[in-house]
Chains A and B, each alone.
Chain A
Amino acid sequence: MAATEQRAADPGVDPAGLATRLSRLTLTRNLGIALVAGVVLLLISNALSPFDNLQLATMAYTFIAVAGLSLLTGLNGQVSLGHGALMAIGAYTAAKLFAEDPGPGWPLLAVLLAATAVTALAGVVIGAAAARLRGPYLAGATLALAVALPSISERFPDFLGGSNGLTIIPPLPPSGLGVDFALERWHAWIACLGALVAFVVLANLVRGRQGREWRAVRDDEIAAELCGLHVARSQVLAFVVSAACCGLAGGLFVVVTQLAAPGAFPLALSVSLLAAAVLGGLGSLGGAAAGAALIVLIPRWSDDASAALGLTTNVQANLALAIYGLLLIAVVLLAPRGIAGIFGRAAHAVRTRWESQQMRRHERRGEVG
């Protein structure tokens, strides 16, 4: 990745006062973006059929997980093939709380917060281990995590439902929205709201002091340490934030599909999350959104295309997968910054309006370096 080659030293460059002012501006800006996006999503959702709303909801929770992974990999340099397993932790937590006897399950918000918190906690443990591993070792270990973790449910069939999984009763729209209100639309609203909240939180982290610290650690651990940064702690924190995102995504997954089962979290899920993050452009939230949208839409497009072209079932069943794979390779070889990089110039212009001269110069340096 070009991004990983970047040599940054932000912490030393930025005057503290500027940083505070910037972070306030950033918060306002991000809230603004979220608000606009929220209105747009609301309008889109109202125009969509139930099935399309379902896809919108899928995109929304996928975005959260992809954004978490993209931040971890793009900003902090830790690669994970195990984020599907983290989603499973969030999903099972949510499913247990939704369905748990006695009495009514927890309210939706509490369930989602709990899913986020539990997964973040798991992130502390996994992150602490991950902080000691580098590159391919970390990738391999998280790959094993992705393959192994879902089988825990088969070990405890009474508590986690075995391969049958756990089913929940879907959260219903408030009666105030009228009886005609589609369940799928309601779920799309919930998922989109979750995505927007995640966006605001992540965007502030990325732009803020923490984001700079992460980048510094990514670019040169030794230099970061010399600057007084606590490298391991910074890496664990990045993993925890990333895990929390997956927890929320997993919780929303359960809201939307009403199911937590081991088959929902295969290695392919983890790979597709990474694919989305890479396609979108590692470290970019906008890219994460584009990547998430793509991995939801590519299977649909390829289904339509193969139906239109009269391709055989075998080809049809594998076309989407082939496209992901080819895109993954192509992006790394041809456009290392993904979609975000391609649209980067335009985005850059908008962004720089809010940033100091100093930061802009630094970004440029990063791009050519």
Chain B
Amino acid sequence: MQRFLDLTLDGLASGAIYAAVALSLVMIWRATRILNFAQAGMLMLTTFIAWSILDAGGGYWLAFAAALASGFLLGAVVERVVIRPVEGAPPLNAVIVTLGLLVVLQAGAGMVWGNQPESFPAAFSIQGFELFGHTVPFSRADLFAVIAVAIVLVLLVVLFRRTSIGLQMRAAALAPDVSKLLGVRVGRMFTLGWGLAAMVGALAGVLVAPSVFVSPSSFDAILVFGFTAAVVGGLESPPGAVVGGILVGLALSYMSGYFGSSTVTLGALGILVAVLMIRPNGLFATSHTRHV
């Protein structure tokens, strides 16, 4: 029972991070119908930027803010420069471009920062809380991750539901041509969507970095887990992404705990395939549309 509790808390902590990655994928999917494989590279880059600030003696929160800000900038620039030409093109083009971007970002980071893993601090103590006289694998840093992701989710929901800009973003994504006629600056909305999504990705990067170290390819697995979470949640809905992230985090933690850590990626593959085969629109989908 103790072990089950430990694994549950562990899963919750990593689930929050998968949820953040899933959120960033979902936002880009909603905005531009593109699955952003470069996300792993983008959040790696922003985490390295934060690392550089820390390494130069800057404070944690400065580095944290820099990661988010550079994430927004990076997302916007990427959308403008390499994604814009493949928006609306066959999906394969976008797949290849984002993969290419992933490779370029990893190579670039390797050139600048080297390919050795670097240590990255957590916002708060990584020592687990005491619960019933037992230290559980859930720390202040993990609690911060969960709260941060929850706040992001709330902000996004408010943005999309309650603000004019959010409404314009949704309109641009759903019906670009009509929106254009109605005076929505669709291109700008796409850029904004990418920027915000990359910012959420950057958050995931700094949150997960303490436990995987930072190196150009540290975050590949996170992308797979995040994608799995996004698919579980249906790729369309931010709340779905968060629930998907938590579910995937829990499932993988139990697998790792009860069957060994080498089963984790296989577990993710299993969940992914099962969901895609049985409910291709995610566990929470209401409508059934097939995107070709």
Contacts and interface: CB of A to CB of B under 8 A. Distances in A.
A148 interface: yes
B280 A137 contact: yes
Contacts of B37: 139, 143
Chain A interface extent, by class: 35 or more
Interface in A125-140: 129, 132-137, 139-140
A129 B115 contact: no
Given A136-B95, A137-B231, A139-B35, A332 B100 contact: yes
B169 interface: no
Chain B interface extent, by class: 35 or more
B111 A132 contact: no
A144 B264 CA distance: 11
A145 B269 contact: yes
A146 B37 CA distance: 14
Given A133-B276, A141-B272, A325-B103, A155 B260 contact: yes
A42 interface: no
B92 A134 contact: no
Interface in A247-279: 267, 271, 274-275, 278
A61 B76 CA distance: 40
B96 A155 contact: no
Interface in B104-145: 104-108, 110-115
B204 to A, nearest CB: 17
Contacts of B110: 314, 317-318, 321
A5 to B, nearest CB: 7
A332 B262 contact: no
A86 interface: no
A333 B104 contact: no
B147 interface: no
Nearest to B221: A147
Contacts of A140: 35, 227, 231, 272
Interface of B: 29, 34-35, 37, 82, 85-86, 90-97, 99-108, 110-115, 216, 220-221, 223-224, 227-228, 231, 260, 262-266, 268-269, 272-273, 276-277, 280, 290-292
Interface of A: 1, 4-5, 73, 77, 79, 81, 129, 132-137, 139-141, 143-145, 147-149, 151-152, 154-155, 221, 267, 271, 274-275, 278, 314-315, 317-319, 321-322, 324-329, 331-333, 336
